[in-house]
Amino acid sequence: MTKILSETGSGKTIHTVSGITVRLCGDSGDGMQLLGTQLTNTSALAGNDVATFPDFPAEIRAPRGTRAGVSGFQLQFASEEIFTPGDLLDALVVMNPAALVTNIGDLRKGGILIANEDGFNDKEFKLAKLDSNPLEGDILEQSYRVFKVPMTRLTRDAVSELGLSNKEAERCKNFFAMGLVYWLFGRSLEPTLRFINDKFGKKLPEVARANEAALRAGWAYGETTEAFGLSYQVEAAHLEPGTYRNIMGNQALAWGLLAAASLSGKELFYSTYPITPASDILHELTRFKNFGVRTFQAEDEIAACGAAIGAAFGGGMGVTASSGPGIALKAEAMGLGVMLELPMVVINVQRGGPSTGLPTKTEQSDLLQAMFCRNGEAPLPILAPRSPGDCFAVAIEAWRIAVECMTPVMILSDGYIANGSEPWKIPDLTHFPRINITHPTDSGAAGGPFMPYARDENLARPWAIPGTPDLMHRVGGLEKEDRTGNISYDPANHQHMVNTRARKIDEIAERVAPQDVYGKTSGDILLVSWGGTYGACHTAVRQCQKAGLSISHAHLRYLNPMPSNIGELLKSFKTVLVAELNSGQLRMLLRAKYLVDCVGINKVQGKPFTVHELVDQIKAHALPHQAEAVHHKAG
Amino acid sequence: MSLPVLKAADFASTQEVRWCPGCGDYSILAQMKKVLPEIGVPREKIVFISGIGCSSRFPYYMNTYGMHSIHGRAPTFATGLKSTRPDLMVWVITGDGDALSIGGNHFIHVLRRNLDINIVLFNNRIYGLTKGQYSPTSVQGQVTKSTPMGAIDHPLNPLSIALGAEATFVARSIDAHVTHLGETLKRAAEHKGTSLVEVYQNCNVFNDGAMAYAQEKGQRSENVVELEHGKPLIFGRERDKGIRLVGSHLEVVSLADTPVDDLLIHDEKDPNPAIQMMLARMRHPDMPEPIGVLRAVSGVPTYDEQINQQVQLAKTQRGLGDLQTLISSGDTWVVN
């Protein structure tokens, strides 16, 4: 943190710093997610680069006050470009003892701890399984700058004139906390005041007034209380010029699907079954019926996938989404999609597995499922967005490939980017190339009977749709005869069709851009990563490059097929590290396909990588190369 | 411009039919080809979707659009298709294992949604394609390859399930009773909403004669009562027996000592499925089994109609969505 000191009129000191990482934690009913979202939007509007990481329990109302019930929201806002929500915390806000004990380990030495003192009582200690008050004594003070604020009482006082019940009054305490945090980091109250008015102003005016009063009281508390002598300021970041908004991953996926539909002249049919963390895509899309969106909440995951294929058979844009367990159920229908050679997008917002696993936590452990979960040899393209905003472009690209190759395409998002957010430069949609789709109206130049399994230069078959006279044809899961599509048990034909379906997917690699590399295209170390770990991996590589290591970064968007230059790239480095939030799934694919002995950096804890753990691992792997360099010099 | 007049042969695809000789499926295929020209929907506007099983080969033999999908899931493909293409006439062809066992969930949900499609359920009370295991409609005690000591499960009754889901059209017919079958398929096609036709279909290889009491001409009139809307329930070779409602159950009476006026008058249009359910529960040999239309309730909105109406309404009320406006809405800021 760079620090520039200045003084305010009230005699308080302001530090200007380049970035702040803060985590807001409380019970899952304490409104921490709302607080986090508001601070994010306000910081983004202030021109900071921001990155967020909401972290909440799977239970809607987990047992109150317990460690399992703690809900947290972490964000980093900065005056420079950032790619992660930060590692160690500069500030931690806790509303109860459970939140304190489960999060204090991430607060850096000398960091700020703000605790709602009123949330620390015998009942809460018992719920958090504590023998004593962790705020008592000066143990915390030895490591951190501790502020104990009686937020519940101060909130009650602030709204006392509004005639709310005690319970209603206390519910506003997250806005008090918000006001205090806003003061501490020099944030404007305006965007949140606007939010309060929009959300409650008309329907619940007394709630709006109470929340506003609590917000202002929190701010005033920071401004007037002597304990808070110092506040922080983060200047606007130097982002690429343009108009920006804040965007979450699931929202960007939903909007990307809308864009893909529009670019291809189709109306979206989105069929799905509720599952964490994918449901928000449904919630978002179902609002846009005036865009021609039809959403279908099916009776189960299988039905959701079947309906998307049914829509595709009729010429529609069928999309289904789920998370790992639901994808397992869709597998047979996806295989049919591969066999029918109909376009479709399947989204997997990955979460911790196996089985029900960790529904609200992030993981990248479904890559091999995406590759191989279908029976028989049923390859399909797989794409992974790297950040919340990138989900928009990936959704468009997935649909483009689906229709160009007449194939289901899978998108591997994850819980981290689905719920995370970042500033997003609003694109000019007129700059996106159109996605051309033709539905044949006759059997082709040669005349004769219609050949539903004839192929074009992309090996795609014609997308003839019901309603077209003379092109009546039958498709099905049984093996097809080449060209005619009739049922065929002929051995040579089966070999040909298996080969052709594989080649169709493999050849996509020749039409996508080669893999780009951050850094030199050869050297000691190449860090390979994919999907939602981009931010942490990119930041770690930058730090290691600054530290003088010979390291480059290749972040894959196309996981199947991989870009055509990947093999050569892997062989241009002495060491290939593969960082992923699983036990080595991409590594297995790279080793199998390119015979390069990649080394894994793996983590399966339901949490994203931190930058420092990646840097530590990279540095450990760099030691032999450095020793070698020394040896060469000495020699 | 007059539309070309099509014949049954125009609905035959070029594919060789590969059911076992003597299979009841042939009769259903023949009746379908005969009925479709009478309905007058152009071939290219018709789609047959099936699951897995002997019956599910059906789409390959029709010169229309078709999809032979995966086991039990045909209603799901039909739902996606009909919701996005309400202009098409969609038929689901399924069997007792396909619809009631592996696909039971989809079967009840498509019925309760009242998607405007027609489902023909070929019920032969056996798994044919997998060579002779018992099915969810096999009778208790039935000895099959997978039940050497007799099936112990209580069989499902597809009509009861459909009525339980309050399907708007529920009917039964018999493969060998070709005129009745043709008429029932036609009524199903004309119904707006999900129509279910259960067809008693003989599997002459693995379950031959299981429903002979209803299929064979000599036995049928004693064991089957043909339902007609607004008419009393009369059956028997001499039409000398009837069905009477007594309290909350049905009983067989002889017309020799019971006046026709005392008999139950069939009401297929009654929105309350209670009496229709009583009819569905009449099982051989205790009672004659009903064939014909048990239930045909009109005026219930269909799923496909409503999903499209909501889209139209949203477009009318809010105007056609503009994506550039959407992504530029809310809190934004400019970086220079």
- Each residue's pLDDT tens digit, A342-393: 999 999 999 999 999 999 999 999 999 999 999 999 999 999 999 999 999 9
Number of domains forming the structure of chain A? 4
Measured between beta carbons, the chain A residues lying within 8 angstroms of B89 are none
Contact B254, B240 (CB under 8 A): yes
- Each residue's pLDDT tens digit, B27-53: 999 999 999 999 999 999 999 999 999
Q: Which strands make up the sheet holding A382-383, listed edge to edge?
A: A294-297, A268-272, A317-322, A344-350, A408-414, A382-383, A558-560
Q: Do A463 and A533 belong together in one domain?
A: no
pLDDT at A4: 59
- Each residue's pLDDT tens digit, A271-289: 999 999 999 999 999 999 9
Contact B323 A241 (CB under 8 A): no
**End-to-end Cα distance, chain B:** 64
- Each residue's pLDDT tens digit, A539-589: 999 999 999 999 999 999 999 999 999 999 999 999 999 999 999 999 999
Nearest to A191 among B62, B311, B331 (CB): B331
Nearest to B85 among A45, A258, A466 (CB): A466
Indicate the residue among A201, A234, A267 that finishes a domain: A234
Q: Do A424 and A306 belong together in one domain?
A: yes
Residue A292 contacts B, CB cutoff 8 Å:
yes
Measured between beta carbons, the chain B residues lying within 8 angstroms of A243 are 328, 332-335
Contact A472 B315 (CB under 8 A): no
Contact A351, A357 (CB under 8 A): yes
pLDDT at A6: 63
CB burial of residue A354 (10 Å; 0-12, 13-18, 19+): exposed
Share of chain A above pLDDT 90, in %: 89
Show the tokens assigned to A462: 């014609």
Q: Do A281 and A218 belong together in one domain?
A: no
* A window 366-425, beta carbon within 8 A of B: none
Q: DSSP characters for A472-525?
A: --EEESSPBPTBT--B---HHHHHHHHHHHHHHHHGGGGTSPPPP-BS-SSEEE
CA distance A186 to chain B (A): 18
HSE, CB side, 13 Å, CA atoms: give it for residue B321. Answer: 25
Nearest residue of B to residue A247, measured between CA atoms: B327
Alpha-carbon distance of A592 to A604, in angstroms, equals 22
Q: Which amino acid is at B59?
A: P
pLDDT at A3: 57
CA distance A290 to chain B (A): 4
Contact B321 A313 (CB under 8 A): no
Residue A79 contacts B, CB cutoff 8 Å:
no
Alpha-carbon distance of B167 to B114, in angstroms, equals 7
* B window 189-218, beta carbon within 8 A of A: none
Nearest to A309 among B68, B80, B332 (CB): B80
pLDDT at B199: 98
Contact A75, A36 (CB under 8 A): yes
- Each residue's pLDDT tens digit, B74-110: 999 999 999 999 999 999 999 999 999 999 999 999 9
Predicted TM-score (pTM) of the model is 0.94
Nearest residue of A to residue B320, measured between CA atoms: A290
Measured between beta carbons, the chain A residues lying within 8 angstroms of B15 are 474, 486-487
Helix or strand run (H / E) with residue B152: none
Residue A517 included in any domain: no
Nearest to A271 among B44, B80, B308 (CB): B80
Contact A217, A162 (CB under 8 A): no
pLDDT(A630) > 90: no
Q: Do A264 and A343 belong together in one domain?
A: yes
Helix or strand run (H / E) with residue A75: strand A70-78
Per DSSP bridges, beta strands B224-226 and B241-246 are unpaired
Contact B44 A469 (CB under 8 A): yes
Q: Do A456 and A575 belong together in one domain?
A: no
Contact A294 B308 (CB under 8 A): yes
Choosing among A285, A289, A426, which should be mutated to test the B contact, i.e. which has the most B CBs within 10 A?
A: A289
Indicate which CATH number applies to the domain containing A578: 3.40.50.920
Helix (H, G, I), strand (E, B) or coil at B323: helix
Indicate the residue among A400, A431, A462 that finishes a domain: A431
CA distance B154 to chain A (A): 25
CATH topology of domain B8-222: Rossmann fold (3.40.50)
Contact A307 B83 (CB under 8 A): yes
Mean pLDDT of A152-156: 95
Nearest residue of A to residue B319, measured between CA atoms: A290
- Each residue's pLDDT tens digit, B171-211: 999 999 999 999 999 999 999 999 999 999 999 999 999 99
Integer-rounded Cα Rg, in Å, for chain B is 23
Tell me the pLDDT band of A9, cut-offs 50, 70 and 90: low
pLDDT at B277: 98
* A window 328-347, beta carbon within 8 A of B: 332-333, 336, 340
Q: Where are the domains of chain B?
A: 8-222
pLDDT at B209: 96
Nearest to B44 among A41, A294, A467 (CB): A467
Q: Do A15 and A101 belong together in one domain?
A: yes
Contact A577, A613 (CB under 8 A): no
Q: Do A118 and A159 belong together in one domain?
A: yes
- Each residue's pLDDT tens digit, A42-84: 999 999 999 999 988 878 778 889 999 999 999 999 999 999 9
CA distance A617 to chain B (A): 36
| DSSP type of residue B147 | B
Integer-rounded Cα Rg, in Å, for chain A is 27
**More reliable by pLDDT, A1 or B298:** B298
pLDDT at A10: 65
Q: Do A249 and A152 belong together in one domain?
A: no
Choosing among B14, B65, B116, which should be mutated to test the A contact, i.e. which has the most A CBs within 10 A?
A: B65
Choosing among B76, B98, B331, B336, which should be mutated to test the A contact, i.e. which has the most A CBs within 10 A?
A: B76
Measured between beta carbons, the chain A residues lying within 8 angstroms of B78 are 310
Q: Do A427 and A530 belong together in one domain?
A: no
CB-CB neighbours of A140 under 10 Å: 18
Alpha-carbon distance of B29 to B17, in angstroms, equals 10
Nearest residue of A to residue B62, measured between CA atoms: A474
Contact A552, A520 (CB under 8 A): yes
Indicate the residue among A485, A511, A537 that finishes a domain: A511
Mean pLDDT across chain A, nearest whole number? 94
Contact A487, B15 (CB under 8 A): yes
Contact A255 B45 (CB under 8 A): no
- Each residue's pLDDT tens digit, A88-108: 999 999 999 999 999 999 999
Q: In the A/B pair of chains, how many CB contacts fall below 8 A? A: 211
- Each residue's pLDDT tens digit, A449-490: 999 999 999 999 999 999 999 999 999 999 999 999 999 999
- Residue B118 Cα distances to A324, A540, B88, B92, angstroms: 34, 59, 12, 6
Contact A314 B332 (CB under 8 A): no
Nearest to A310 among B60, B62, B78 (CB): B78
Note every long-range contact of B125-128, with CB atoms under 8 Å and residues 24 or more positions apart, other chains counting. Answer: B125/B96, B125/B155, B125/B203, B125/B207, B125/B210, B125/B211, B126/B96, B126/B203, B126/B206, B126/B207, B126/B210, B127/B53, B127/B97, B127/B206, B128/B53, B128/B54, B128/B95, B128/B203, B128/B205, B128/B206, B128/B207
Mean pLDDT of A390-401: 98
Nearest residue of B to residue A307, measured between CA atoms: B80
pLDDT(B265) > 90: yes
Measured between beta carbons, the chain A residues lying within 8 angstroms of B326 are 255, 258, 288
Contact B70 A333 (CB under 8 A): yes
Angle (CA) B27 B73 B200, round 5°: 25
Helix pair A190-200, A205-224: axis angle to 10 deg: 160
CB burial of residue A594 (10 Å; 0-12, 13-18, 19+): middle
Alpha-carbon distance of A38 to A621, in angstroms, equals 41
Range of the domain at A145: 4-234
Residue A327 contacts B, CB cutoff 8 Å:
no
Alpha-carbon distance of B141 to B18, in angstroms, equals 31
Mean pLDDT of A501-510: 98
Alpha-carbon distance of A409 to A392, in angstroms, equals 15
Q: Give the max Cα distance, chain B.
A: 98
Residue A563 contacts B, CB cutoff 8 Å:
no
pLDDT(B227) > 90: yes
Q: Do A331 and A230 belong together in one domain?
A: no
- Closest residue by Cα to residue A561 from A348, A405, A455: A405
| DSSP type of residue A426 | P
pLDDT(A252) > 70: yes
Indicate which CATH number applies to the domain containing A49: 3.40.920.10
Residue A518 included in any domain: no
pLDDT at A1: 47
Residue B325 contacts A, CB cutoff 8 Å:
no
Q: Is the ipTM of this complex over 0.85?
A: yes
* B window 257-316, beta carbon within 8 A of A: 307-308, 310-311, 313-315
Tell me the pLDDT band of B21, cut-offs 50, 70 and 90: very high
Contact A277, A250 (CB under 8 A): yes
Show the tokens assigned to B254: 């002889």
Task: Please name the residues in contact with B272: beta carbons below 8 A apart, sequence gap of 6 or more.
Answer: none
- Residue A365 Cα distances to A169, A325, A336, A362, A384, angstroms: 44, 12, 24, 9, 13
Indicate which CATH number applies to the domain containing A296: 3.40.50.970
pLDDT(B163) > 80: yes
CA distance A413 to chain B (A): 20
Choosing among A238, A299, A442, which should be mutated to test the B contact, i.e. which has the most B CBs within 10 A?
A: A299
* A window 425-454, beta carbon within 8 A of B: 426-429
Per DSSP bridges, beta strands A230-234 and A145-149 are unpaired
Q: Do A303 and A414 belong together in one domain?
A: yes
- Residue B302 Cα distances to A230, A290, B86, B118, B195, angstroms: 65, 20, 10, 12, 11
